[in-house]
Amino acid sequence: MTTITNTSASVSQEPWERYKHQPHWRNNEDEFEAAKLGMWIFLATELLLFSGFFCAYFILRMFYPESFRGASEHYLDWRIGAINTIVLLVSSWNVAVAVRAAQVGKKKLLAFNVFFASLLGIVFLVLKIGLEYIPKIHKGELPGGNFWFAGAHGYDPSAYDPMFLSVYWVSTATHGFHVLVGVLLLWWIGWRALKGHFGPKHYTAVENIGLYWHLVDIIWIFLFPLLYLVP
Amino acid sequence: MTTIPADTAGAHGHDDHNVSYLHPKGGFWVTVWDWMTTVDHKKIGVMYLFAILTSFFIGGVAALSVRLELFEPMQTVKNAAGDSVVTGMWPFSTLAAYNRAFTLHGAVMVFMFIIPSIPAALGNFVLPLMLGAKDVAFPRLNLFSWYIYVIGSIFAVSAILLGGVDTGWTFYTPYSESAADYGRVIAMTMGAFILGFSSIFTGLNFIVTVHKLRAPGMGWFDMPLFVWAIYATAIIQVLATPVLGVTLLLLTIENIFKIGIFNPALGGDPVLYQHFFWFYSHPAVYIMILPGMGIMSELIATHARKPIFGYKFVAFSSMGIAAVSFIVWGHHMFTAQGELASVIFSGLTFLVAIPSAIKVFNWTATLYKGSISINTPMVYALAFLFEFSIGGLTGLFLGALATDMHLHDTYFVVAHFHYVMMGGTVMAFLGGIHHWWPKMFGKMYNERWALVGAALVFIGFNMTFFTQFILGSKGMPRRYGTYVPEFQTLHQISTIGSMILGLGMLVHLAVFVLSLAAGKKAPPNPWGSLSMEWETASPPIEHNFPHEPVVRHGPYDYDNTVPPQTKPGEFPLPAPDPNAQGH
């Protein structure tokens, strides 16, 4: 335990200054390095999880190229997708700044960036659910066997449009779920940041959740062109 | 329970330093809560061991019921309405019931038993001790993995209680999405999905542990080969299991929301499901066998008192198996995919046999001129050598396209994978449990009765499954609840063999129970082994080692470190005199 020197000159220490590693580690640095390695491995597993969706996309697009083209053009508005892309990119920048802020001990900058990133995450979800999912449900543009959209404005749905929508719904919904989890995690570290848990000597959770948020962003960077920019 | 003489209590000021990890911390409920919230890898390993053996029992009962049903072919009788109906002995009054029984056997054995078995039960306990660490890298994640295992198992068992699933453990589409009451399929696939996370997090934990928690002085090539094997397994667990996760997730979503990615009626592709499924499930079989191979290295080196022949070859072959395991999945799909793909996968499949063969040769070379003790761990190691060789070689028959055309989906396949999974992994698991039993529980087991159990298991196993090679080559299809009368004799021999096998397992169970109740107290190092887990008490104290261990010799330095004629129980030798010139 770091001894807290009880002189009149010392300010009461923030929690991050008193942080002591778990007993099975030799020192704080080893524990931090191990936590980062663990998080990178976890991110690899997440990437492999999403790889199933990308694989399904590629196979089905190979089977039905014209249908995918038409479906992407008609069912998806690339402008909403583009705004969401910018939203996530900015939030990733926020998170990167947050990590730096923790490293130099700027508590307020850290907390602001974490909460702002979470706000952008919510914007992403609102745009997705409000401007994309809900209209689609009303119009029957649903995946696979649930598809009942009969056509509108001169667009005649092709037989394989439901396949495109299946891939779209499943990949974006799973991605959206990960965004939601990320927002909750950001709130958690934002709250801890305000309580002084993070500083130059200890900011493991900020680093790791930052990495997670970057992965969520990068997956969207791939989903966006594949789903929205087909035509 | 062992209490170690309290010679250091005063120096450290707290007495948990001298007390075994099994010693209860208080009254009954305090102890229960302690076990339920423990982050101690040893306790978690023990809990996994009991759960995994219970899963083995459930899967085993299912297997014995399947074998019982196959004692006679089903009869075609006329029912009350005058229709012809195929019926067998109770409870397999229909073929659908038989299908549910073998699905249950496969799903429970694969997902609840064999994949977690060695890493979660023995790996959790032994790995940190072998590295000289106090725990795994992420102890709380370890406890979380345990609870995920419990929850996943509950899902899977609930599927059984809801009436079972008849798709086979592989859940091929479109059949697995065709049931009107798809709730049971979802319960089982979601059970496997959740169990997959337990596997992923355990693998993640082990990778970081091996990288970051080795004792000072222990380089990568000073580690026991069990650690190398667990590390290679962990890499596969981490990379392959998420693909199974997304496959089962997609299958569940197909069932509920009818998205149709795998359903030809909606424009999807059922072969895509097979690709997705086998992309995980082939590496999964290496998750099953690699830890067993790791145990083999430990058993043979210790009980033949010889360094492993070709340490680096064995270590790198584990990594090689892990790497090549990802590129051979198509050999499960020779009849479903194109010819060029089949040729490529067939060639790659031959490649993956090479590292396994290297290990078998090296273990055999280790035995040569060794000082072999014929005890239960060694007997199981020898059984592994014999049975895994048969299983591995018959895999080549199946990997060759011309022969596979005749053997695909026959009992030959069933015999092959039981020879490698049971004749390999389960034999190694049993050998490992016996080998580390004194360390885990501080008790010796009755060697004579354990050898009786091992003999029954060996005889029963070979009777059960060797006949199945013959049945398969004669054309008996797999997953069939009935057969032509010509096959009956072989089926009956197989069934009797399975009963002998079951009896052998019960003998082991009795030996273990008696050991826990009244076994002789175990010394720290009953086998005279040189790996680090034996340099602490049996059972270990809570923090594993009283002082941070220092690596003084390699794990297999029997030639250099142990004087000849040293009896196993006399090792480790007393600490060297600090005033003398050390070596």
Domain limits, chain B: 1-37, 38-76+84-335+350-570
Phi, psi for residue B565 in degrees, rounded to 5:
70, 5
> Under an 8 A CB cutoff, do B243 and A48 touch?
yes
Q: Which domains does chain A have, with CATH numbers?
A: 64-148+156-228 (1.20.120.80)
Say how far apart CA B381 and CA B366 lie, in whole Å: 12
> Under an 8 A CB cutoff, do A59 and B266 touch?
no
User: Residue B2 pLDDT > 80, yes or no?
Assistant: no
Show the low-confidence residues of chain A (pLDDT under 50): 1-9
A25, A45, A50 ranked by CB distance to B200: nearest: A45
Contact B415, B465 (CB under 8 A): yes
Residue with tokens 């490649």: B351
B212 touches chain A (CB under 8 A): yes
Which chain A positions have a beta carbon within 8 Å of B134's beta carbon?
23-24
Which chain B positions have a beta carbon within 8 Å of A174's beta carbon?
249
State the pLDDT at residue B263: 84
Average model confidence (pLDDT) for chain A? 88
Distance from the Cα of B401 to chain A's closest Cα (Å) equals 26
> Under an 8 A CB cutoff, do B269 and A59 touch?
yes
**pLDDT confidence bin for B3, thresholds 50/70/90:** very low
State the pLDDT at residue B4: 41
Say how far apart CA A125 and CA A86 lie, in whole Å: 13
Of A46-60, A106-120, B72-86, B566-580, the range with the lowest mean pLDDT is B566-580
Phi, psi for residue A36 in degrees, rounded to 5:
-65, -45
Say how far apart CA B479 and CA B86 lie, in whole Å: 15
B141, B204, B242 ranked by CB distance to A48: nearest: B242
Say how far apart CA B23 and CA B1 lie, in whole Å: 6
Distance from the Cα of A64 to chain B's closest Cα (Å) equals 9
> Under an 8 A CB cutoff, do A38 and B138 touch?
yes
> Under an 8 A CB cutoff, do B267 and A159 touch?
yes
Task: Calculate the alpha carbon distances from A81 to A177, B253, B285 in Å.
Answer: 17, 24, 41
State the pLDDT at residue B564: 65
Mean local confidence (pLDDT), B265-269: 82
Task: Write a three-state SS string for B69-113.
Answer: HCCCCCEEEECCCCCEEEECCCCCCCHHHHHHHHHHHHHHHHHHH
Average model confidence (pLDDT) for chain B? 89
User: Residue B1 pLDDT > 60, yes or no?
Assistant: no
A156 touches chain B (CB under 8 A): no
Which chain B positions have a beta carbon within 8 Å of A172's beta carbon?
none
A42, A50, A143 ranked by CB distance to B204: nearest: A42
User: Residue B225 pLDDT > 90, yes or no?
Assistant: yes
Structure-token pair, residue A15: 């929690």
Distance from the Cα of B493 to chain A's closest Cα (Å) equals 44
Of chain B residues 129-188, which have a CB less than 8 A from chain A?
Answer: 133-139, 141
Say how far apart CA B476 and CA B13 lie, in whole Å: 69
B208 touches chain A (CB under 8 A): yes
Structure-token pair, residue A93: 């920048």
Task: Calculate the alpha carbon distances from B345 to B272, B285, B394 in Å.
Answer: 16, 16, 17
> Under an 8 A CB cutoff, do A56 and B272 touch?
yes
User: Residue B63 pLDDT > 90, yes or no?
Assistant: yes
Phi, psi for residue B20 in degrees, rounded to 5:
-65, 155
Which chain B positions have a beta carbon within 8 Å of A33's beta carbon?
212
Task: Provide DSSP, B496-522.
Answer: HHHHHHHHHHHHHHHHHHHHHHHPPBP
Which chain A positions have a beta carbon within 8 Å of B271's beta carbon?
none
Which chain B positions have a beta carbon within 8 Å of A50's beta carbon?
246
Provide CATH code, domain B38-76+84-335+350-570.
1.20.210.10
Which chain B positions have a beta carbon within 8 Å of A169's beta carbon?
257, 259
- Picking from A23, A15, A46, A17, the residue whose alpha carbon sits closest to that of residue A208 is A46
**pLDDT confidence bin for B6, thresholds 50/70/90:** very low
Percent of chain B with pLDDT over 90: 64
B133, B208, B243 ranked by CB distance to A37: nearest: B208
Residue A70: CB atoms within 10 A of its CB come to: 20
> Under an 8 A CB cutoff, do B208 and A48 touch?
no
Cis previous bond, B546, omega within 30: no
User: Residue B146 pLDDT > 90, yes or no?
Assistant: yes
Residue with tokens 């887990």: B533
> Under an 8 A CB cutoff, do A166 and B259 touch?
yes
Pairs of CB atoms within 8 A across A/B: 118
A154 touches chain B (CB under 8 A): no
B199 touches chain A (CB under 8 A): no
Substitution target in A45, A160, A177 with the highest count of B β-carbons within 10 Å is: A45
Mean local confidence (pLDDT), B70-85: 76
Which chain B positions have a beta carbon within 8 Å of A144's beta carbon?
254, 257-261, 263, 266, 268
> Under an 8 A CB cutoff, do B259 and A144 touch?
yes
Say how far apart CA B4 and CA B523 lie, in whole Å: 11
| Helix axes of B376-399 and B411-420: crossing angle, nearest 10 degrees | 140
**pLDDT confidence bin for B289, thresholds 50/70/90:** very high
Which chain B positions have a beta carbon within 8 Å of A62's beta carbon?
none
Which chain B positions have a beta carbon within 8 Å of A141's beta carbon?
none
Of chain B residues 546-575, which have a CB less than 8 A from chain A?
Answer: none
State the pLDDT at residue B184: 85
Query: Which residues partner with B480 through β-bridges?
Result: none
Residues contacting residue B347 through CB under 8 Å, at least 6 positions apart: none
> Under an 8 A CB cutoff, do B243 and A22 touch?
no
Residues contacting residue A192 through CB under 8 Å, at least 6 positions apart: A198, A205
> Under an 8 A CB cutoff, do A144 and B263 touch?
yes
A63 touches chain B (CB under 8 A): yes
Substitution target in B246, B256, B275 with the highest count of A β-carbons within 10 Å is: B246
Say how far apart CA B236 and CA B279 lie, in whole Å: 11
Express each pLDDT in B510-551 by its tens digit: 999 999 999 999 988 899 899 999 988 889 999 999 888 888
A49 touches chain B (CB under 8 A): yes
User: Residue B340 pLDDT > 50, yes or no?
Assistant: yes
B139, B204, B249 ranked by CB distance to A38: nearest: B204
Contact B395, B420 (CB under 8 A): yes
Residue B26: CB atoms within 10 A of its CB come to: 10
Say how far apart CA B55 and CA B157 lie, in whole Å: 10
A45 touches chain B (CB under 8 A): yes
> Under an 8 A CB cutoff, do B268 and A34 touch?
no
Of B18-27, B231-240, B316-325, B351-360, the range with the lowest mean pLDDT is B18-27
Express each pLDDT in B290-311 by its tens digit: 999 999 999 999 999 999 999 9
Residues contacting residue B319 through CB under 8 Å, at least 6 positions apart: B228, B232
User: Residue B575 pLDDT > 70, yes or no?
Assistant: no
State the pLDDT at residue B374: 93
B246 touches chain A (CB under 8 A): yes
Per DSSP, B477 falls in state B
Express each pLDDT in B161-212 by its tens digit: 888 888 888 888 888 877 777 888 888 899 999 999 999 999 999 999 999 9
> Under an 8 A CB cutoff, do B254 and A144 touch?
yes
